[in-house]
């Protein structure tokens, strides 16, 4: 048995003012004394429990009574116990998580048991919250990571593995720059500077690069992380892959722009706009919606069969060094000629390796990407819409757009040809009528 020797005055100071609850009982478990913290912990005044056995005031949870009895028996036999966790019942019915340590002591030649009981309710709750947060972080579909103030990764969850393609073992200790596209590397010092200034970033949309090299869109929330002293030691980041959402938004925005373009062109068809004006408008929308640097729109002259390119963009005209260049082509060649000869759309993002290409004439601008659609009335070729050198690769959506624009352009050409034919017909009949009237007038003059 442990003998604790100290003066009565010193014991009283510690006993009365220690924040932990102190209870003293005899070897049978009957309370002899307790401090203020002991009263506060279980909600009983000392007068309520002194002289009573601990079981009589039901301070130990019923489910743990046997376990506590066994622990107390060891103390009564002179053994230290604990710390052990139990649930104590308060007088008001609330439960308190506690940590109990018992020490056999001798006071005034009497063998007693000192209970040192600490309220760990808040600690347990904090542990529970930590466990819940850890589970959330572990199983979240979002990427949740932490980094030091140099941008080196310290933690990496399953969501981050799924979004970025790196395992925790591969990425821990590596720098954030590994996820930033080369063109955006100036982003890193700006982020770190904001974190050092305790300035969080919320729903910050940017680009990241996966392990497989694929560029993705992410929405980031970044917050400084402080240590126990309140000093910023790093930052945490939550990232959500919004690539598909971004694609849907961009597709919707693109569709709105397409519908506006088609509506504008349709209204022009109902007006007295010339074929040149409509050609210019078709090219304007085609270039903008496909992000193309160059392009032309042209119609087939019904008399000669030549293609007339009234909209050859000025930049093509200025850069093209082909001798004797003209906006009227008698012969069709290359990729654009294939479209006219076959009356089919064509798209290629690698013209140099496309078997339909005949190469680029000396002095001609370099064609990096090409897209074209014929303008048809039934099976009759009436014109063409052609584009080149988009900032990105042409896709099926671009092909459908250009085909829709070519359809409208074909209607405009048909209208123009019908108007021209009508004018010719009207002029022809006007001359016939004038000739008839003149002849009748002459006959009537002879009769008179």
Both 168 and 270 in one domain: the answer is no
- Number of H helices and E strands in the chain, helices first, is 13, 16
Residue 192: pLDDT over 80: yes
Q: Tell me: the pLDDT tens digits for 51-78? A: 999 999 888 988 899 999 998 999 889 8
> Which domain-ending residue is among 91, 120, 149?
120
Tokens found for residue 310: 């009234």
Contacting residues for 340 by C-beta, under 8 A, at least 6 apart: 307, 332, 374, 381, 384
Answer for the pair 1, 78: CB distance below 8 angstroms, yes or no. yes
Instruction: For residue 88, give its domain range.
Output: 8-120
CATH number of residue 377's parent domain:
3.30.450.40
In this predicted structure, what is the pLDDT of residue 444? 67
Considering the domain architecture, whether residues 83 and 196 belong to the same structural domain is answered as no
Q: Which two tokens stand for residue 99?
A: 């940590």
Q: Residues 35-47: what's their mean pLDDT?
A: 90
Give tens-digit pLDDT for 126-137.
777 666 666 666
Q: Residue 437 falls within a domain, yes or no?
A: no
Does any domain span residue 162?
yes
pLDDT grade, residue 287 (50/70/90)? very high
Answer whether residue 342 shows pLDDT above 90: yes
Composition of the chain by helix, strand, coil, percent to 5: 45, 25, 30
CB 415 within 8 A of CB 400: no
Helices 396-447 and 243-270, packing angle to 10 deg: 0
Q: Of 128-137, 286-295, 310-319, which one has max mean pLDDT?
A: 286-295
Residues 417 and 299 in one domain: yes
Residue at 128 is within a domain: no
Q: Rounded distance, CA 259 to CA 246, Å?
A: 20
Summarize the confidence of residues 164-192 as an average pLDDT.
93
| Residues 113 and 149 both lie in one domain | no
Statement to judge: residues 70 and 153 lie in one domain = no
The DSSP output letter for 18 is -
Do both 363 and 313 map to the same domain? Answer: yes
CB atoms within 10 A of CB 104: 21
Rg (Cα) of the chain, in Å, rounded? Answer: 44
Confidence class for position 425, pLDDT limits 50, 70, 90: low
Mean pLDDT of 360-389: 88
Question: Does residue 173 share a domain with residue 91?
Answer: no
With a CB cutoff of 8 Å and minimum separation 6, the contacts of 223 are 200, 201, 235, 236
Q: Specify whether 167 is located in the same domain as 252.
A: no
Question: Residue 125: is its pLDDT beyond 90?
Answer: no
134 in any annotated domain? no
Residue 330 pLDDT: 84
**pLDDT at residue 4, as a whole number:** 47
Q: What is the layout of strands, in order, in the sheet containing 380-390?
A: 328-329, 307-308, 292-300, 380-390, 370-377, 346-348
Same domain for 363 and 415, yes or no, is yes
> Of 186, 215, 241, which residue sits at a domain end?
241
Peptide bond into 48 cis (omega under 30): no
Question: Does the residue 132 lie in any domain?
Answer: no
Quick check: is 392 in a domain?
A: yes
Length of the chain: 448
Q: Answer yes or no: do 90 and 208 share one domain.
A: no
Domain boundary at 180, 210, 241, which? 241
Cα 434 to Cα 441: distance, rounded to the nearest angstrom:
10
DSSP state of 392: S
The residue ranking higher by pLDDT, 16 or 334, is 334
- % of the chain exceeding 90 in pLDDT: 44
Which one is predicted more confidently, 417 or 85? Answer: 85
74-97: per-residue pLDDT in tens?
988 989 998 999 999 999 989 999
Q: For residue 306, is pLDDT > 70?
A: yes
Indicate if 370 and 263 belong to the same structural domain.
yes
Average pLDDT over all residues of the chain: 84
Tell me how far apart the terminal alpha carbons of the chain are, to the nearest angstrom.
160
* Burial of residue 394, with CB atoms counted within 10 A of its CB: 0-12 exposed, 13-18 middle, 19 or more buried: buried
Block residue for tokens 């959500």: 240
pLDDT band at 256 (very low <50, low <70, confident <90, very high): confident
Q: Are residues 236 and 252 in the same domain?
A: no
Which tokens belong to 130? Answer: 């930590």
Domain count, the chain: 3
* Position 275 pLDDT exceeds 90: no
Tokens 């808040």 correspond to: 122
Q: What angle do CA 206, 212, 214 make, to 5 degrees?
A: 35
Question: CATH number for the domain including 38?
Answer: 3.30.450.20
pLDDT value, residue 131: 67
Give the per-residue pLDDT at 393.
94
Whether 187 is in a domain gets the answer yes
Q: What is the mean pLDDT of residues 106-118?
A: 88
**1 pLDDT more than 50:** no
Judge whether 416 lies within some domain: yes
Residue 229: in which H helix or E strand, if any?
none
Highest mean pLDDT among 162-166, 273-277, 316-320, 326-330 belongs to: 162-166
């Amino acid at each position: 048995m442990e003998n604790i020797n100290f003066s009565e005055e010193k014991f009283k100071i510690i006993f009365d003012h220690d924040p932990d609850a102190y209870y003293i009982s005899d070897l049978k478990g009957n309370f002899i004394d307790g401090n203020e913290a002991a009263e506060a912990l279980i909600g009983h005044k000392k007068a309520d429990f002194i002289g009573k056995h601990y079981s009589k005031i039901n301070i130990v949870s019923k489910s743990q009574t046997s376990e506590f009895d066994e622990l107390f028996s060891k103390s009564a036999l002179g053994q230290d116990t604990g710390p052990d966790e139990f649930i104590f019942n308060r007088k008001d019915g609330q439960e308190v998580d506690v940590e109990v340590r018992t020490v056999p002591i001798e006071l005034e030649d009497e063998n007693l048991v000192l209970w040192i009981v600490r309220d760990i309710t808040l600690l347990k709750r904090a542990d529970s919250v930590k466990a819940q947060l850890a589970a959330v972080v572990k199983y979240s579909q979002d990427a949740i990571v932490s980094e030091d103030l140099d941008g080196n990764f310290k933690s990496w969850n399953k969501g981050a593995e799924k979004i970025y393609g790196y395992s925790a073992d591969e990425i821990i200790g590596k720098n954030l720059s590994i996820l930033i596209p080369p063109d955006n590397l100036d982003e890193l010092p700006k982020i770190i500077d904001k974190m050092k200034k305790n300035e969080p970033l919320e729903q910050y949309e940017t680009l990241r690069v996966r392990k497989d090299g694929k560029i993705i869109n992410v929405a980031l929330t970044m917050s400084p992380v402080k240590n126990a002293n309140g000093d910023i030691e790093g930052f945490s980041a939550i990232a959500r892959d919004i690539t598909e959402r971004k694609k849907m938004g961009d597709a919707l925005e693109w569709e709105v722009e397409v519908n506006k373009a088609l509506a504008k062109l349709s209204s022009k068809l109902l007006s007295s706009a010339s074929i040149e004006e409509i050609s210019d408008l078709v090219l304007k929308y085609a270039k903008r919606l496909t992000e193309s640097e160059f392009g032309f729109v042209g119609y087939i002259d019904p008399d000669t069969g030549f293609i007339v390119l009234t909209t050859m963009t000025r930049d093509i005209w200025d850069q093209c060094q082909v001798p004797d260049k003209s906006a009227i082509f008698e012969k069709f060649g290359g990729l654009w000629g294939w479209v006219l000869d076959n009356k089919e759309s064509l798209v290629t993002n690698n013209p140099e390796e496309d078997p339909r290409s005949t190469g680029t004439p000396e002095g001609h601008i370099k064609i990096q990407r090409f897209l074209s659609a014929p303008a048809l009335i039934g099976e009759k070729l009436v014109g063409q819409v052609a584009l080149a050198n988009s900032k990105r690769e042409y896709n099926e959506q671009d092909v459908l757009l250009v085909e829709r624009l070519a359809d409208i352009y074909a209607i405009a050409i048909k209208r123009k040809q019908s108007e021209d034919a009508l004018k010719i017909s009207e002029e022809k009949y006007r001359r016939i009528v004038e000739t008839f009237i003149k002849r009748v007038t002459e006959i009537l003059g002879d009769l008179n």
